[in-house]
Amino acid sequence: MPSSAVADDRPLLVIYTGGTLGMVESERGLAPGGDIAPRLARALDALPPGRGALLPRHEVLAVDTPIDSSAATPSDWSRLAGMIAARHRDHAGFVVLHGTDTLAWSAASLAYQLQGIDRPVVLTGAMQPLEAPGSDAADNVTLALRFAANPALQEVAIAFGGRLLRGVRARKWHSRDADAFTSPNYPLLGERVGDDSVLYPGRGLERQQRGAPRFELADYAGLDDGGVARIALWPGISARQLDTWLTDPALEGALLEVWGGGNLPDDPDLLGVLARASGEGKLLAAISQCPHGPITPGDYAAGQGLATAGVLSGDAMTPEAAFTKLVHLLAQPLPDAERRRRFLTPLVGERL
């Protein structure tokens, strides 16, 4: 436990942003519902003794308009970070109730914005609504509350399906299973063991807390309208198609998902398009389409072009972590060289 970790009797804050957890049936299928505080209290009260016993004290706050997280934008990420930053002194920790579809994106984005956070910020959600028979919602919230009350956790994490994952390393991996999240290139931070929530040693928890909080809260609204694109290569991609993406005047950065260890076609036209875009000051980065493992461009002749064209290596970052990092860097008034340096530097445990 870091030396700054002391027991804290301030209540946790649960922030409800939407998602299946709080959804109710509508004529068009499941849609975000309201009244979250009493509904959550009822679901937690109904847990079997043991599971629900001794939950940390918490208050509940709902955003004005809960959403299906498939509708989230960079602006939603910056608003959420602002809500937490404004209240962080009043609460020992935070639980964010979020739709699962883009939960990992919000978690990664919060990690960059809330750098140096000195208490837990734990995101969770559910694959089934609170009131559905056999729902995973109350169990996930219980787990998130327990981890959010542990002062040894001083970072943004995801509690889901009995496990705790580093937020900036996580991905949604299953569209139906209760065990929906994975952390392909970093081990779990913790797990439910019986009725306990256990943090594992040796997972770099102490490295996340280096001095006082140094939040970087930037307004992301300027990037909502296509400021950053995510482009996965496919066999046969043409320079013309790539050019259409990269010459879009709204585009300020792009994440390329290339092959294997960092390869792309050795096509001078394609590489020329990339070089021109980065020459114009667009922030380009690459990760692998393989879910596991880093890119090491330059191992193959086919990967040499990436570096020559000024494309930054995203190491083993998840698409969520790499994309939200581009948004975060582009939203701040930084010189281009500083943006490039920070992209290559581990800020919150997102890369080596």
Q: Which residues belong to the active site?
A: 20, 100
**Rounded distance between C-alpha atoms, residue 322 and residue 91, angstroms:** 30
Sheet holding 283-288, edge to edge: 228-232, 253-258, 283-288, 312-313
Is 69 flagged in the annotation as binding?
yes
Q: Least distance in Å: CB of 91 to ligand ASN?
A: 24
Q: What is the 3-state secondary structure (H, E, C) of 238-287?
A: CHHHHHHHHCCCCCCEEEEEEECCCECCCCHHHHHHHHHHHHCCCEEEEE
Which of 70, 238, 308, 332 touches ligand ASN (CB under 6 A)? 70
Token look-up 């490295």 returns 207
Q: Least distance in Å: CB of 63 to ligand ASN?
A: 13
**Four-residue CA torsion sign, 211, 74, 166, 342:** negative
Q: Does 262 bind ligand ASN (CB under 6 A)?
A: no
Q: Least distance in Å: CB of 28 to ligand ASN?
A: 13
Backbone angles phi, psi at 31, to 5 degrees: -140, 155
Which residue's C-beta sits nearest to ligand ASN? 99
Task: Sketch the per residue contact string, 87 through 106, with ligand ASN: x for CB under 6 A, - otherwise.
Answer: ------------xxx-----
Q: At residue 281, what is the residue type?
A: G
Task: Sketch the per residue contact string, 117 through 136, with ligand ASN: x for CB under 6 A, - otherwise.
Answer: --------x-x---------
Q: Give the range of 12-20, 86-94, 248-256, 320-328 binding ligand ASN by CB under 6 A.
A: 12-20
Q: Give the range of 46-54, 65-73, 152-160, 282-290 binding ligand ASN by CB under 6 A.
A: 65-73
**Rounded distance between C-alpha atoms, residue 229 and residue 183, angstroms:** 23
Q: Give the range of 63-71, 253-261, 285-293, 304-312 binding ligand ASN by CB under 6 A.
A: 63-71
**Rounded distance between C-alpha atoms, residue 291 and residue 279, angstroms:** 29
Is 308 flagged in the annotation as binding?
no
Nearest CB to ligand ASN, comparing residues 124 and 278: 124
Q: What is the 3-state secondary structure (H, E, C) of 126-154?
A: CCCCCCCCCCCHHHHHHHHHHHHCCCCCC
Q: Does 68 bind ligand ASN (CB under 6 A)?
A: yes
Q: Give the range of 47-55, 68-76, 206-214, 234-242 binding ligand ASN by CB under 6 A.
A: 68-76
Nearest CB to ligand ASN, comparing residues 297 and 319: 319
Count of residues near ligand ASN by CB under 6 A? 11
Beta strands in 1-126 (DSSP E): 12-18, 23-26, 29-32, 58-67, 94-97, 121-124
Q: Least distance in Å: CB of 79 to ligand ASN?
A: 16
**Four-residue CA torsion sign, 54, 57, 62, 68:** negative
Token look-up 């020329």 returns 272
**Rounded distance between C-alpha atoms, residue 227 and residue 98, angstroms:** 24
Which of 13, 15, 16, 20 touches ligand ASN (CB under 6 A)? 20
Cβ neighbours of residue 172 under 8 Å, at least 6 residues apart?
A: 100, 101, 103, 104, 180, 181
Cβ neighbours of residue 213 under 8 Å, at least 6 residues apart?
A: 88, 114, 115, 116, 117, 118
Residue 222 in tokens: 């300027």
Q: Does 17 bind ligand ASN (CB under 6 A)?
A: no
Nearest CB to ligand ASN, comparing residues 101 and 155: 101
Q: Does 144 bind ligand ASN (CB under 6 A)?
A: no
Nearest CB to ligand ASN, comparing residues 31 and 290: 31
Enumerate binding residues for ligand ASN (CB under 6 A). Answer: 18-20, 68-70, 99-101, 125, 127
Residue ranges of the binding site: 69, 100-101
Residue ranges of the binding site for substrate: 69, 100-101
